[in-house]
């Protein structure tokens, strides 16, 4: 979840400062009695801080490993916290193994309080935030009832931890979600068929980026947003199938390459970071990756979806 662009009042500035140190009680106290900005542009952040503060007031934290902690509300996990911790660790280890990640960043996994599973929730499937002193993954409480879905959500969000660190936060959103949906392993056969037949549009890099960032939904349903995540996932799957996990890791690392020669080359050739990284590692532009992934998709059998 990206940082806000503006925080133009002192109480919001203080709130964000406390929030990114995970002092969520002070963060919410800073803004609880104040406005949410002209036009309500800070409502989303108000709700995020509120949900994390509600959880913190009642929560307990246990250590799973030296890099992973679990925060939960004891009366709401119904004695399943050790099972959930084990499942979370399994999924994090699986994601890390794919990309050679050695858990270099501490991670806090928070299962939000049950009352925050509400219509006003701004991230109903979970989210990941880079904080100090750890990366924080927040998941909705309803996932406690479904170990399979809980595991998929952990995998998706921990993949964001990996991509944001390997790429130092410079990966485009479509590439981040390509990795996360790939690691999550949630592929929709109906959406796949519609991509193959052309019934569902295969978006260009810029259009896919826009939908994933804005989560715009022109037809009043969530279908276009779901399809955007699915398209990203299929692109990730294509990249791994055709080039391998290691090459995808190299693309992420190349995005963060700040060597003088690389920066000069980007400048001379007029390439942005994403196109430059893909060309260096895969010898392909983003547009070529998208087109080839779309063609590759039609070669997949339904059983393989």
Per residue in 212-251, pLDDT (tens digit) is 998 755 555 578 999 999 999 999 999 999 999 999 999 9
Mean pLDDT of the chain: 92
Contact between 252 and 280 (Cβ < 8 Å): no
Could you tell me if 49 and 15 are in contact, meaning their C-beta atoms sit under 8 angstroms apart?
yes
Residue 1 inside a domain? The answer is: no
Q: What is the Cα–Cα distance from 84 to 70, expressed in whole angstroms?
A: 9
Question: Rounded CA gap, 178 and 175, in Å?
Answer: 5
pLDDT at 294 over 90: yes
Judged against a pLDDT cut of 80, whether residue 35 lies above it is answered with no
- What's the pLDDT score for residue 5? 44
Residue 247 lies in a domain: yes
Whether residue 234 is found in the same domain as residue 291: yes
Task: Indicate whether 26 and 154 sit together in one domain.
Answer: yes
φ, ψ of residue 153 in degrees (nearest 5): -65, -40
Phi/psi class of residue 7: alpha, beta or left (left: φ > 0; alpha: ψ in -120 to 50)?
Answer: beta
90, pLDDT greater than 60: yes
The stretch 18-33 carries a mean pLDDT of 95
Last residue of a domain, one of 131, 166, 201: 166
Statement: residue 121 has pLDDT above 80:
no
Q: Which of 2-6, 18-22, 80-84, 95-99 has the lowest mean pLDDT?
A: 2-6
pLDDT at 36: 76
Residue 4 belongs to some domain of the structure: no
Q: Which domain holds residue 38?
A: 12-166
Asked whether residue 5 is assigned to any structural domain, the reply reads no
258 and 145 both lie in a single domain: no
Burial (CB count <10 Å: 0-12, 13-18, 19+), residue 52: buried
- Judged against a pLDDT cut of 70, whether residue 38 lies above it is answered with no
Note whether 128 and 246 are same-domain residues.
Answer: no
Residue 182 lies in a domain: no
User: Binning pLDDT at 50, 70 and 90, where does residue 268 land?
Assistant: confident
Residues 19 and 129 in one domain: yes
* Residue 177 maps to a domain: no
- Strand segments, DSSP code E, in the chain are 60-63, 68-72, 107-111, 127-130, 135-139
| Residue 119 confidence class, pLDDT cut points 50, 70, 90 | confident
Q: Are residues 215 and 111 in the same domain?
A: no
User: pLDDT at position 217, please?
Assistant: 54
Residue 173 domain-assigned? Answer: no
Residues β-bridged to residue 60: 72
Assess whether 233 and 157 both reside in one domain: no
Instruction: Please indicate, yes or no, whether residues 127 and 208 belong to a single structural domain of this protein.
Output: no
Same domain, 276 and 196: yes
- pLDDT of the residue at 292: 98
Q: Are residues 154 and 40 in the same domain?
A: yes
* Size of the chain, expressed as the number of residues it contains: 305
- Region 121-135: mean pLDDT is 91
The last residue of one of the domains, among 134, 166, 198, is: 166
- Number of domains, the chain: 2
- In this prediction, residue 201 carries a pLDDT of 96
Mean pLDDT calculated for residue range 277-296:
97
Can you list the positions of beta strands (E) in 74-184?
A: 107-111, 127-130, 135-139
Same domain, 238 and 281: yes
Percent of the chain with pLDDT over 90: 81
**Domain end position, chosen among 133, 166, 199:** 166
User: In this model, does residue 71 exceed pLDDT 50?
Assistant: yes
Contact (Cβ atoms closer than 8 angstroms) between residue 229 and residue 221 = no
Classified as helix, coil or strand, 63 is: strand
Residues of 244-274 as b/e, b for ≥16 C-beta within 10 angstroms?
A: eeeebbbbbbbbebeeeeeeeebeeeebebb
Token digits of residue 242? 């055709």
As a whole-number percent, the residues of the chain with pLDDT over 70 amount to 93
Rounded-to-integer distance, Cα 70 and Cα 64, Å: 7
Do 16 and 145 sit in the same domain of this protein?
yes
Asked if residue 180 belongs to a domain, the reply is no
Quote the CA–CA distance of 290 and 172 in Å, as a whole number.
Answer: 14
């Amino acid at each position: 979840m990206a940082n806000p662009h503006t925080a133009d009042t002192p109480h919001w500035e203080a709130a964000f400062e406390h929030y990114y140190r995970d002092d969520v009680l002070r963060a919410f106290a800073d803004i609880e009695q104040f406005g949410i900005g002209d036009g309500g542009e800070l409502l989303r952040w108000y709700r995020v801080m509120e949900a994390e503060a509600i959880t913190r007031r009642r929560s307990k934290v246990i250590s799973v490993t030296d890099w992973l902690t679990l925060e939960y509300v004891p009366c709401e996990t119904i004695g399943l916290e050790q099972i959930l911790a084990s499942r979370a660790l399994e999924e994090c280890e699986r994601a890390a193994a794919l990309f050679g990640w050695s858990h270099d960043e501490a991670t806090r996994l928070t299962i939000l309080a049950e009352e925050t599973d509400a219509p006003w929730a701004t991230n109903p499937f979970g989210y990941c935030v880079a904080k100090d002193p750890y990366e924080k993954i927040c998941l909705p409480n309803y996932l406690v009832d479904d170990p399979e879905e809980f595991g998929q959500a952990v995998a998706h969000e921990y993949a964001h931890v990996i991509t944001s660190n390997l790429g130092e936060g410079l990966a485009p959103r479509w590439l981040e979600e390509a990795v996360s949906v790939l690691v999550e392993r949630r592929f929709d056969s109906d959406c796949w068929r519609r991509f193959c037949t052309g019934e569902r549009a295969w978006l260009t890099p810029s259009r896919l980026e826009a939908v994933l960032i804005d989560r715009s939904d022109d037809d009043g349903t969530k279908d276009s947003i779901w399809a955007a995540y699915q398209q990203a996932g299929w692109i990730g799957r294509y990249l791994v199938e055709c080039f391998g996990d290691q090459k995808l890791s190299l693309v992420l690392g190349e995005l963060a390459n700040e060597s003088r020669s690389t920066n000069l080359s980007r400048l001379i050739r007029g390439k942005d970071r994403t196109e430059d990284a893909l060309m260096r590692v895969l010898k392909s532009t983003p547009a070529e990756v998208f087109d080839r992934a779309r063609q590759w998709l039609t070669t997949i059998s339904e059983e393989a979806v």
